[in-house]
Structures are given as C-alpha cells and as structure tokens.
Amino acid sequence: MKVAYLDCASGISGDMTLGALVDAGADLGVINAGVQSLGLPGVRLVRNDVKKKGFRATQITVEHEPQHKHRHLHHIAAMIDGGALSARQKELAMRVFTRLGEAEAKVHGTTIEKVHFHEVGAIDSIADIVGSAIGWDLLGIERAVCSPVPTGTGFVEIAHGRCSIPAPATGELLRGIPLVESAVPFELTTPTGAALIGALCTSFGPPPAMKIDSIGYGAGQRDLEQQPNLLRLLVGEAPLAEGGATGTAGGPLAEQIWLLETNLDDLSGELIGYAIEKLWQAGALDVVTTFVQMKKNRPGVTLSILCQAPQCDALEAILFSETTTLGVRRQPVWRHTLRRETHRVETPWGPVEGMLAWPAGEAHFSPEFESCRRMAEEHRLPLRTVYDAARKAFRP
C-alpha cells in the first residue's frame, strides 16, 4: 500500500501541499492540464525552487486573469465534474470542498447550499485544491498520516474582518485533529490546508512504518523568522504483512491505530457495561474486557479500546467520567486488516446482509448478526438455520 506522511511543523496550506506533491514527483504538466480543464480564465501553475532558512523547497504560485467572483458549492462541483479529471481526482477534490462548505455553513449558521466560498472560491484556492487532488492521485497515495498541526497565534484578516487564529472556519475544520502549540505570530494553517488534511488523512501522530520512496518539500509564501516555512511530505510503501502483500486483493492492509487501556477493580459490572456502550457510541473500533488479578489479590478488569487518533480524547474522557479509573494508558499500534465489502445474499426467506473478505485470495462471506436475527424472529426460525442458509446462498 502506498502511504504518505504529512510533517506539518510549520502548518499547512493549499500551495504548500501542492508544492510538496510536485516536489515528491507528481507531474506538474499533468496537474496544469487538469486545472486548466476547469475553464478558469488564464490559470497556470508555476514552479519555483526557493530556500527557506537554508532548506531547498518547491514553491507553487497560481497565475491567472483577475477575477472577483463568489462561488457556491454547486458552481465548483459543476466545474470539477466538467473537467478532464479522473473519477478519483474528482472525488478527492469534492471531498475537500464539501468539508469546507460544511465548516463555513456551521460557522455562519446557514446551509451548505447557501455558502459563499469567499477566499476558498478564489481561483488560487480552487487551483490549489484541485491540483492537490490530481497530485495525490498521480502519486498513488492510498493512506495518509499527519503530524499534530500548529495553527500559529495572533490575528488574520478575512472577508468578515479581523479574527483570531485559528480563523473560525479553520477551527471548525480542525475538530478531532490534534494540535501542537506554536508561538509563531502568523496564520500557519489555512482553511484550505485544514480541509485537505481532514479529507485526506486517516490518522494523526508520528510517521507510520514505511519504506520511503520519495520526499517532497512544499514552501509557503511567507518567510518566518523562527523556522523554515515548509511542509514535508514522505511517500513510500507500507510494510508487508506476513502471509500476503499489503494492499492486494487478498492481502491485509496496514493501518496505525491507538490502544487505550485502564484497569478497574472497584466498579460493578453494570457500570462497566454502561461505559462500554458509551465507548461504542463514541466511535471505538473495538472494546474488550479481560479479567485480571490486581494488587492485594483483588479481581479486576482490564478495559482495552482500539480507536483512530481523532477519537482518542473523546474516548478517554468517557473512561474518566464513567469509570473510577485514575489513569489511562495510550500507545500507537499497528493492525493488518483484510479488505472488506458489504454484500447481500438471497435466502428462501429474503435477503441477508453480510460482509465479504478475502483471507487467502478467495472471497469469504460472513452473515451480519442483526440481519439474521430479524429474519429469524420474523419467520420464527432458529438463528443458526438462517446463518447456515445465508452461508450456503453465497456464490463467489
């Protein structure tokens, strides 16, 4: 699997992302052709090699004819849909713009259909987002991890006036994304940059296990006194899992997630069960209890939770509020998962939903419990009878 790591030591913006992708090997000529197919007047992406605090990097600027126009999401969607982009490139670009629209709508108390995109609707930002989507696709990135993000401090002038950093839309877009403290008195992370990482990155933290193939440096427009204004992009291959190649149809997919654990020896089973329900509702990937013997020979329970990085804080808060724990252990872990797809089979009593997986290159079907349970109750059948019928109904 092709993986990428965004090292946002100086924040992230649309032009920094595009510069890093080009520097890592994405063909600027192909990106230019895709951006120009949107019909924007005289648009052209220009590459320059620059130095930031002594470090070389690629800086991308957008040249175009002057135009002052506020666009709605449906205008941008029509441009993207009519452009000469691949299906994946269109999907990636719209994913970013949709996140931006949702954030702006929430900040201004309106609907996504009525949002004027102001700065985001400007040609520069459209070119940066669509260009980044094309570059992302050209490098074949399937999964991305991002470092904690600095926003900078101070104030920024936007279309609605002077706002503290992070700007309202940027703050909304950074929900669930870990931030890192920075005293740099400028806007380091823009709304476009925040939307890109929110739409493209699946986890946050240190670099994932990978074999690096290329490294790209994207330069911001501003020169910072404190540090080089760069975004570093590492692109490579995830490690092979034992028994199969990562990312193939039958092989496992590598993913970094987080493990939260705590030991409990003074809480009733009912309260532990309630906490587990809350953890599932808050987005835990898995919740497991293990019976342990604790100090002074007290019987206890270890509560283990697997989750994505953005859910860590919320799940930890549930542990502190719903249990008697005084501490929670955190650690990043790697898991390998089989490729899965939802699937439906037809039984004598109707359709049953389930999941397809490829444990050894051959498709395997697992009926979904709730679907089988409903059918068993409706037709007054033993649950096992429905399960057996659903498995027999599957034809690879």
- For 296-309, what is each residue's pLDDT tens digit? 888 999 999 999 88
- Is it the case that residue 91 has pLDDT exceeding 60? yes
- Is it the case that residue 121 has pLDDT exceeding 70? no
Query: What's the confidence (pLDDT) of residue 224?
Result: 96
Q: What is the pTM of this model?
A: 0.65
| Rounded alpha-carbon distances, angstroms, from residue 28 to 160, 229, 311 | 34, 21, 36
| Rounded alpha-carbon distances, angstroms, from residue 251 to 141, 192, 195, 238 | 17, 35, 31, 12
By mean pLDDT, which of 28-32, 79-83, 275-279, 339-343 is the weakest? Answer: 339-343
Residue 65 lies in a domain: yes
CB-count exposure of residue 100 (10 Å: 0-12, 13-18, 19+): buried
CATH value at residue 306 = 3.30.70.1380
Higher pLDDT among residues 34 and 203, named by residue: 34
Whether 7 and 149 map to the same domain: the answer is: yes
Whether 159 and 289 map to the same domain: the answer is: no
Query: What's the confidence (pLDDT) of residue 209?
Result: 83
- Is it the case that residue 146 has pLDDT exceeding 80? yes
Q: What is the pLDDT of residues 58-69, one digit of tens each?
A: 999 999 887 766
| Band (71; pLDDT cuts 50, 70, 90) | confident
- Is it the case that residue 340 has pLDDT exceeding 90? no
Distance CA 353, CA 345 (A): 7
| Band (101; pLDDT cuts 50, 70, 90) | confident
Whether 135 and 42 map to the same domain: the answer is: yes
- Is it the case that residue 117 has pLDDT exceeding 70? no
- Is it the case that residue 139 has pLDDT exceeding 50? yes
SS3 23: helix
Higher pLDDT among residues 148 and 71, named by residue: 148
Last residue of a domain, one of 205, 237, 269: 237
- Is it the case that residue 176 has pLDDT exceeding 50? yes
Last residue of a domain, one of 302, 319, 337: 337
Distance CA 166, CA 299 (A): 48
Beta bridge partners of 135: none
Q: Strands (DSSP E) along 64-173, which ranges?
A: 143-146, 155-158, 161-164
- Is it the case that residue 164 has pLDDT exceeding 60? yes
Whether 79 and 178 map to the same domain: the answer is: yes
- Is it the case that residue 147 has pLDDT exceeding 90? yes
Mean pLDDT of all residues in 107-114? 83
Query: What's the confidence (pLDDT) of residue 251?
Result: 54
Query: What's the confidence (pLDDT) of residue 295?
Result: 87
- Is it the case that residue 339 has pLDDT exceeding 80? no
3-state SS string for 263-289 = EECCCCHHHHHHHHHHHHHCCCCEEEE
Residue 245 lies in a domain: no
CB-count exposure of residue 217 (10 Å: 0-12, 13-18, 19+): buried
Residue 216 lies in a domain: yes
Query: What's the confidence (pLDDT) of residue 331?
Result: 87
Residue 352 lies in a domain: yes
Evaluate whether 107 touches 172 at the Cβ level (below 8 Å): yes
Burial code (b: 16+ CB inside 10 Å, e: under 16) for 242-262 equals eebebbeebbbbbbbbbbbbb
Beta bridge partners of 305: 260, 287
Beta bridge partners of 215: 234
By mean pLDDT, which of 173-182, 247-256, 258-267, 338-347 is the weakest? Answer: 247-256
Query: What's the confidence (pLDDT) of residue 252?
Result: 65
Whether 41 and 148 map to the same domain: the answer is: yes
Query: What's the confidence (pLDDT) of residue 233?
Result: 98
Query: What's the confidence (pLDDT) of residue 358?
Result: 80
Mean pLDDT of all residues in 90-107? 90
Whether 118 and 208 map to the same domain: the answer is: yes
Beta bridge partners of 236: 3, 212
What does DSSP assign to residue 311? G
Whether 25 and 107 map to the same domain: the answer is: yes
Q: Which of 346, 378, 381, 352 is nearest to 367 (CA)?
A: 352
Tell me how many domains the chain contains. 3
Residue 195 identity: A
| Band (248; pLDDT cuts 50, 70, 90) | very low
Burial code (b: 16+ CB inside 10 Å, e: under 16) for 308-338 equals bbbbbeebbebbeebbebeebeeeeeeebeb
Distance CA 392, CA 236 (A): 41
Q: Strands (DSSP E) along 115-210, which ranges?
A: 143-146, 155-158, 161-164, 203-204
- Is it the case that residue 204 has pLDDT exceeding 50? yes
Query: What's the confidence (pLDDT) of residue 286?
Result: 95
- Is it the case that residue 244 has pLDDT exceeding 50? no
Distance CA 357, CA 346 (A): 18
Mean pLDDT of all residues in 72-84? 91
Residue 243 lies in a domain: no
Beta bridge partners of 303: 262, 289
List the domain range (segments joined by +) for residue 352. Answer: 340-393
Residue 357 lies in a domain: yes
- Is it the case that residue 118 has pLDDT exceeding 90? no
- Is it the case that residue 160 has pLDDT exceeding 80? no
Residue 247 lies in a domain: no
Whether 52 and 96 map to the same domain: the answer is: yes
| Band (239; pLDDT cuts 50, 70, 90) | low
Whether 15 and 96 map to the same domain: the answer is: yes
SS3 40: coil
Whether 280 and 309 map to the same domain: the answer is: yes
| Band (89; pLDDT cuts 50, 70, 90) | very high
Distance CA 329, CA 58 (A): 40
Query: What's the confidence (pLDDT) of residue 342?
Result: 85
* Percent residues over pLDDT 70 in the chain: 93
Whether 227 and 84 map to the same domain: the answer is: yes
Whether 205 and 283 map to the same domain: the answer is: no
* Percent residues over pLDDT 90 in the chain: 67
Residue 95 lies in a domain: yes
